[in-house]
Structure 1
Amino acid sequence: MAITAVLLLSSLGFLAITAQAQNCPRPPKGENMDLKGNDILLTSFPDGTTVTFACNIGYESAGGSPRITCTAGSWSPLGLKCQRKNCFSVENVQDGQIEYRPGTEFGDKAVLICNIGYMPVGGGELTCGSQGWTGRLPVCEVTQCESPPVVQDGSFSPNKDLYEYNDVIDYTCKKDYTVVGSRQLHCSDDGTFKPEPPKCISTAQNCPRPPKGENMDLKGNDILLTSFPDGTTVTFACNTGYKSAGGSPRITCTAGSWSPLGLKCQRKNCFSVEDVQDGQIEYRPGTEFGDKAVLICNIGYMPVGGGELTCGSQGWMGRLPVCEGTSMPSWVLNAP
């Protein structure tokens, strides 16, 4: 019995030694990490081997042990956690702000957005890399405008080689000329002067009375004048019974000529009259200004009271009759 027990214990010890000697396969990759050093090339690891994981480029340890050990063919749990590196915010910039797309972690971008009136000069965008922000940001410089446009028979002040954002210039015209348009222009954020420069027009270049438009005439006291000073703006209005169909009603006298008239006038429409009892409405010829609406009674009815309607500037005018039954014999009503 003693010999049997010894042999049994020896067999168990041999099995234990055999189990302990089992190799481990290549351990699975952790999230955002891999084996460190030459271990990354191996596919089998002897029992008792300890390997180390390292976070991938752009990631850093968020805690936990990076080492695992092969024991009897199995790896111990991996504690290492890896998180994206954070480059954090860039220092404040002058006359602008940084926009992060979408954030400040590895692979994200930092872009300079200049304030209104400033523009980026030099450099480009930053990229969050494994060692921090890489690249070079531009700087924000104030927007400049070159010399303003020259106006015939006029001049501007102040006169400088370069103008900065929001600088203002004033135009004046020589004697016997008047400014038409904006006297002041400013250096805008896109590097141009705005609005459009004015014109200097001779005060002797008056305009005659403008011709009537179709179904319209001058508005107010302007209808009584025959001559209009240069730069004058007049307004047209649709005649009675007509209404605007779009377009500007104003024109301006410039250097003896009127600007084009955009206003269009169309006849007002009174539309259909409500249905009537025992008859129908006949429109002669339609439902627009000046047209007529006449009541036609059904057979066996006749109009009583009222008359016809006329389409006026405020709608239908007048009062329609009503259709009342007639007492005439049927042979009279049905006579050809």
Structure 2
Amino acid sequence: MSTSSSLLPPWKLWVQGSSPKTLKRHQIMHSQKAPLALLEGSTFDRKGEMAALLFSRLWKVSNSTLFQMMLVTVLLATVLGDCGPPPKLPFASPINPLYDTEFKTGTTLKYTCHPGYGKINSSRLICDTKGSWNYSIFCAKKRCRNPELINGIVEVKKDLLLGSTIEFSCSEGFFLIGSTTSRCQIQGKGVDWSDPLPECVIAKCEPPPDIRNGKHSGGDREFYTYASSVTYTCNPYFSLIGNASISCMVENKTIGVWSPNPPICEKIVCRRPQIPKAIFVSGFGPLYTYKDSIVVNCEEGYSLRGSSLIYCEANNEWYPSVPSCVSMDACTDLPDISYASWERNDYNLSDHEIFEIGTELKYLCKPGYRPVLDEPLTVTCQENLTWTSSNECERVCCPTPDLENIRIINERRYFTGRCVYAYGDNISYMCDEGYYPVSVDGESSCHTDGTWKPKMPACEPALCLKPEIVNGRLSVDKDQYVEPENVTIECDSGYGVIGPKSITCSETRTWYPEVPRCEWEAPEGCEQVLTGRKLMQCLPSPEDVKVALEVYKLSLEIKQLEKERDKLMNTHQKFSEKEEMKDLFFPSNQHTESSFINSTLP
């Protein structure tokens, strides 16, 4: 074999006609399992030719013998068929446990359907020549039984297969007993609904209520079903008020109730109305009961004011109101005067009254309004049976505020044409820097008396009151200060400033920072004097001061004794530490021996 041929991959040598027996050992090792299979007398198909072409190209790229061996093994195994582990199916699993991770072409695996699924096809998976598991869907979800609900509705959301959900509801007049939903789930070897199917029970009502002076047509039954009805009647001389019939209905889908409310039986009597100059067309009895009616008309020369047909109502009154017959030579309709009320002390005016020619009526403008003209507020019935023209009423005006240093934020105005601001107007405003609104929150409104409440909109300079400094004085002393005026605090002799020495009047009319104070400063060594002064200020009598000073003196003596005790303890501690150091460097036996020697020397 030539040198150039030895560099070719094994399958290239085989394609060129070399016999496997003439191949060298290391050339066969390069091919590993897949090339060896090709060399053992198998013939090339199209798949093999493509594999050889692919490997020959990869072979030229790599010079690594190990890489070539691995590449040939992996790629040829993929191209020529072996399958990996079978897929996990949601509806089935293998009959026998699987321990291998690789399966030869043609391997067949048998599967069984999961609970809740039924077999519909061959339950086999086959490893094909492409290295893939070949199968078709062979298990399908089982179907739950058809649900039935008498007098109700079953709502199927999707289907009746495993995992599906259905909902139940009842027809009108029935209520549900049981669960409102159910789910198709595994039960035993099959599938069924998770909850027992409910039932729809017809609504029932208790016997209808009894009424005084009347009865119903229901008899003595123990209960009444949905849509049952009864009718009430009243005893003689009593009138039925309300609905004569009531029915058994359902409330909140569970309770049977009677609707509407039962009627009542009462004695209703309306007396014959007295209508001067009236003619009764129908209804001539002296007494009338509930819902009796009367039709009236007027004599010649008079016109009817009101309804010609009236009924006797449950309150023993006629409805609509009893009409009247008015002379055609009189004023009737009152003039409509805006924002005004009639001035009549003896009786209230009514549209149904008759006013003779020459009748004068007075009126007043309502609070917050005034007459437009400086004329009497009266109207008179004229010979042409009309009223004289009236003096109208308009809103009361409020003075126009001075807008200097004012910024209006919002306002509600009723434009009258005679003034800028009138009754009912509101203003919200802010002030320029250094000023503040005179009314709370900068809001004012025009009131009925023509004044602004709480005050007319205005802005005043921000004023701060004089700060009170005990045992001290101000650099500028006056009653009020304007923003942004600044003052300095100076304390009396023996006193010191606690806080800022300089403060400024802010636009909020407060001092910034906060106002300081002057407190007594005790010189070094005079603390007891300061304490004694404080005691004398707090105690009410000289005897109490004397006792307090004795107690204070005793407390000072105790503190002095405590200081001396602490001093002695410190001295003793230092001496003990010194003795310990001495024992550390000079043990007791050596010290004794040296002492003995020294004592024996001349």
TMscore range, shorter length: 0.5 to 0.7
> Residues 138 and 144 of structure 1: is their aligned pair in 2 closer, same or farther, counting only changes over 3 Å?
same
Tell me, in whole angstroms, the C-alpha distance in 1 between the residues paired with 2:294 and 2:141: 69
2:171 is the alignment partner of 1:107? no
- The correspondence for 2:125, drawn from 43, 63, 68, is 68
Q: Which letter does structure 2 place at the counterpart of 1:5?
A: S
2:178 is the alignment partner of 1:117? no
Deviations 1:211-240 (A, max 9, x none): 9xxxxxxxx9589999753234789xxxx9
Deviations 1:269-289 (A, max 9, x none): xxxxxxxxxxxxxxxxxxxxx
2:81 is the alignment partner of 1:25? no
- The correspondence for 2:249, drawn from 167, 175, 188, is 188
- The correspondence for 1:142, drawn from 197, 202, 208, is 202
Q: Which letter does structure 2 place at the counterpart of 1:74?
A: G
Shift of 1:52: 4.3
| Mapping for residues 1-336 of structure 1, pairs under 5 Å | 4-7=18-21, 14-16=36-38, 24-29=83-88, 32-33=90-91, 35-36=93-94, 44-47=101-104, 50-53=108-111, 58-63=116-121, 65-70=122-127, 74-90=131-147, 92-130=148-186, 131-156=191-216, 157-190=218-251, 191-203=256-268, 205-206=269-270, 229-232=289-292, 253-257=313-317
Secondary structure, aligned partner of 1:24? coil
Tell me, in whole angstroms, the C-alpha distance in 2 between the residues paired with 1:112 and 1:67: 41
More helix, by proportion = 2
Tell me, in whole angstroms, the C-alpha distance in 2 between the residues paired with 1:107 and 1:250: 69
Tell me, in whole angstroms, the C-alpha distance in 2 between the residues paired with 1:133 and 1:93: 14
> Residues 116 and 252 of structure 1: is their aligned pair in 2 closer, same or farther, counting only changes over 3 Å?
farther
Tell me, in whole angstroms, the C-alpha distance in 2 between the residues paired with 1:61 and 1:207: 91
| 2:442 aligned residue | none
Structure 1 runs of 4+ with >6 Å offset? 8-13, 222-227, 249-252
Shift of 1:198: 1.3
TM-score (norm 1): 0.52
Q: Which letter does structure 2 place at the counterpart of 1:66?
A: S
Cα pair 2:239 2:289 within 8 Å, conserved: no
Identity rate of aligned residues, in percent? 21
Tell me, in whole angstroms, the C-alpha distance in 2 between the residues paired with 1:37 and 1:233: 93
Cα pair 1:117 1:142 within 8 Å, conserved: yes
Shift of 1:79: 2.0
| 1:289 aligned residue | none
User: RMSD over aligned Cα, in angstroms?
Assistant: 4.6
More strand, by proportion = 1
Cα pair 1:122 1:138 within 8 Å, conserved: yes
> Residues 126 and 221 of structure 1: is their aligned pair in 2 closer, same or farther, counting only changes over 3 Å?
farther
Tell me, in whole angstroms, the C-alpha distance in 2 between the residues paired with 1:7 and 1:233: 132
Tell me, in whole angstroms, the C-alpha distance in 2 between the residues paired with 1:82 and 1:134: 22
> Residues 13 and 252 of structure 1: is their aligned pair in 2 closer, same or farther, counting only changes over 3 Å?
farther
Structure of greater Rg: 2
Tell me, in whole angstroms, the C-alpha distance in 1 between the residues paired with 2:108 and 2:219: 80
Tell me, in whole angstroms, the C-alpha distance in 1 between the residues paired with 2:114 and 2:213: 72
Secondary structure, aligned partner of 1:176? coil
Shift of 1:163: 1.6
> Residues 189 and 45 of structure 1: is their aligned pair in 2 closer, same or farther, counting only changes over 3 Å?
same
Cα pair 2:185 2:193 within 8 Å, conserved: yes
> Looking at both structures, which has the greater relative contact order when contacts are Cα pairs under 8 Å and sequence separation is at least 6?
1
Deviations 1:56-86 (A, max 9, x none): 66544442x3322446781341123444432
Shift of 1:164: 1.6
**Comparing 176-185 and 50-59, the one that deviates more:** 50-59
TM-score (norm 2): 0.32
> Residues 251 and 206 of structure 1: is their aligned pair in 2 closer, same or farther, counting only changes over 3 Å?
closer
Contiguous gaps of at least 5 residues in structure 2:
2-16, 41-72, 296-302, 304-308, 322-602
Shift of 1:136: 0.7
Tell me, in whole angstroms, the C-alpha distance in 2 between the residues paired with 1:177 and 1:170: 16
Aligned length: 235
| 1:314 aligned residue | none
Tell me, in whole angstroms, the C-alpha distance in 1 between the residues paired with 2:235 and 2:152: 43
| 2:436 aligned residue | none
Secondary structure, aligned partner of 2:313? strand
Secondary structure, aligned partner of 1:14? helix
Shift of 1:27: 3.7
Cα pair 2:246 2:260 within 8 Å, conserved: yes
